[in-house]
Amino acid sequence: MKLRPEIAQSWRRAELSGLKPTSPADRLAVRDVDPRSRLLRAATPVLDETARHLEGTGLCLVLADRDCRIVARRFGSTSAERVLDSVSAVPGSLFTEETSGTNSLATPFETRRGVAVHGEEHYLDALKRFTCYGHPIVHPATRRLEGVLDITGPVDATNPLLAPFLVHAVADIEQRLVDGSNQAQQRLLAAFQAAQHRSTAVLALGEDVVLANSAAVDLVDPCDHPLLRDVSSTMRGVRRLRLTSGTEVEVRMEAVSVNAGMLFELAPVRPRNSTEFRRRAIDGVLPAGVADRLRRSTPARRRVLICGEPGTGRTAATEVLAGQASVATLAASDVPTLGEATWCERLSELTVKQQGLVAIAGIHLLPSVLAARVSRLLDNSPAWVALTSGPFAELHGEHAALASRMHRRVELPPLRERRKDIPELARTLLRGHGSSLRLTAGALELLAAQPWQGNLRELESVLAEAVSRRSVGDITARDLAPSCRVSAAAPHLSGWEQAEHDAITKALSAVGGNKVHAARQLGISRSTLYNRMRALRIAH
């Protein structure tokens, strides 16, 4: 049988996911459905009205949500209900191409357009007795996919009028989504206005709207919105959180009616002393968890190798390791100036006289003979020593042998692998220059799109130059442009999209381009991976 192109492509996707035509269709996992969801509230009246026209037929309507999970059904006869039950097309069942192959729920979900699937065009043998047509439901305002509506019947019920019949129902649902959004926004606005008399920062987050008073604008960055949405989905009341700026806040969360949105009141928790300020600044520069790991090595005076590209924070990591103790640093780059003998003598003196931490910076720059001498010195000394070097994988011979003398190794990733941290890093570095300037969303996107060969050091230099040109207001992309390259990709990918792009390409490379394995490694479905690859223009 010659398949239409869209059907052939769907079969290929199903095959790549590991599905076989003989795979059973009656064992799909089922979970609870939220009856208060915005899609169901908009679709229920339309489904009920449309179902009246199906009475006495073998046809049925099936509604899936934005994850392609079935959330509602309507039937023209009880026999149609029993048939759908036999193939797991029940509320709560995930009906993607990975689980159910080619059909008029899963394939429109994948392709984002209306698709008819007749009889033998279904990938699973168990579904070949059906003919169906499915159409995506797209929110007219946000253009986001909200779900898929499908009309299904026995294979001999094929009718060219099924498609326009269903498209009309989809249009009604989309209009009700808009109307419902308008009402929800009005309720959210009313709740936000009622909270304006309070002295705290007030933020309201709806499905498609964000409201903030001036205090919230100063305190909360758009990067914090996903965190707040996530926390409010699992709890209510009061909780302490740390924002991307490093500021700890006490957040009071309150739901605004049903699905209208959430109202947040945020109050900063003031740090108790300057030591806490300093600790937060250091934590903001180092990758998550690294500062804590280093501090755990301090009481036992463990010897630590701190490795990474230049500018990744090796000096800051050394300072964290030292804690309250003093640090005496000897740099390998001083060997040409001092001479090997004098340099080695200074190191010997430090290991005897220094009560705190002895830091040897840049051991990868030491001549091999001198690296061997340092190894022997450390073998015979009880001194507390930290070494810094380039990436560990680049250490060989005597330099690798010297690194092996350390009790623990800490790898600092390059900045290009920490794009999601750039907003917090930029703010931390700005505060280090005594600046209270803010970075606009466009500036953050431009920063996140840079290659950062010089890592944190280069980022700090760019920000320092921007501060020197602007003393008040916000730092915009235009302020950064003289120092930042505006590449062709920058206008198309935000900082967060760039981070997503990097994660996907890295996963694909690690598994030789196998998308099924890459999706599993990323913890997402294969269909989601395909969608993100298309959106981010990743060719593989």
Tens-place pLDDT, residues 471-519: 666 888 888 877 776 543 434 555 566 667 777 877 876 777 788 888 8
Mean pLDDT, residues 378-385 taken together: 94
Mean pLDDT, residues 456-468 taken together: 88
Short-list 268, 223, 249, CA closest to 443: 223
Higher-pLDDT residue of 475 and 432 is: 475
Name residues whose C-beta falls within 8 Å of residue 344's C-beta, 6 or more positions apart in sequence.
370, 373, 374, 377
**Cα gap 394→405, rounded to integer Å:** 17
Q: In 379-488, at which residue ranges do the beta strands (DSSP E only) sit? A: 385-389, 408-412, 438-439, 474-475
Strand partners, 241: 249
Confidence tier at 274 by pLDDT (50, 70, 90): very low
DSSP percent split of the chain into helix, strand, coil, nearest 5:
50, 20, 35
Confidence tier at 102 by pLDDT (50, 70, 90): very high
The DSSP H or E segment spanning 170 is helix 162-194
Higher-pLDDT residue of 397 and 142 is: 397
How large a percentage of the chain has pLDDT more than 70? Answer: 90
The listed range with the strongest mean pLDDT (206-210, 397-401, 418-422, 449-453) is 397-401
pLDDT at 159 over 80: no
- Quick check: 388 and 306 in contact, CB under 8 A? yes
pLDDT mean across residues, the chain = 85
- Between 46-55, 515-524, 531-540, the lowest mean confidence (pLDDT) is in 531-540
- Quick check: 429 and 437 in contact, CB under 8 A? no
Which residue is associated with the tokens 């996907």?
Answer: 504
pTM over 0.95: no
Dihedral sign of CA atoms 34, 39, 42, 43 in order: negative
pLDDT at 273: 47
Higher-pLDDT residue of 171 and 416 is: 171
Helix and strand element counts for the chain (H, E): 22, 17
Short-list 67, 147, 107, 110, CA closest to 118: 107
Mean pLDDT, residues 189-217 taken together: 80
Strands of 210-212's sheet in order across: 210-212, 201-205, 261-268, 248-256, 237-242
Confidence tier at 423 by pLDDT (50, 70, 90): confident
What one-letter code names the amino acid at 420? K
Chain centre to alpha carbon of residue 399: 37
pLDDT at 259: 67
pLDDT at 74 over 80: yes
- Quick check: 497 and 478 in contact, CB under 8 A? no
Torsion of Cα atoms, 252 then 255 then 256 then 260, to 10° = 130
pLDDT at 255 over 70: yes
Name residues whose C-beta falls within 8 Å of residue 226's C-beta, 6 or more positions apart in sequence.
none
pLDDT at 18: 86
Short-list 300, 305, 362, CA closest to 325: 300
Instruction: Report helix, strand or coil for 111.
Output: helix
Mean pLDDT, residues 41-50 taken together: 91
How large a percentage of the chain has pLDDT more than 90? Answer: 41
pLDDT at 434: 67
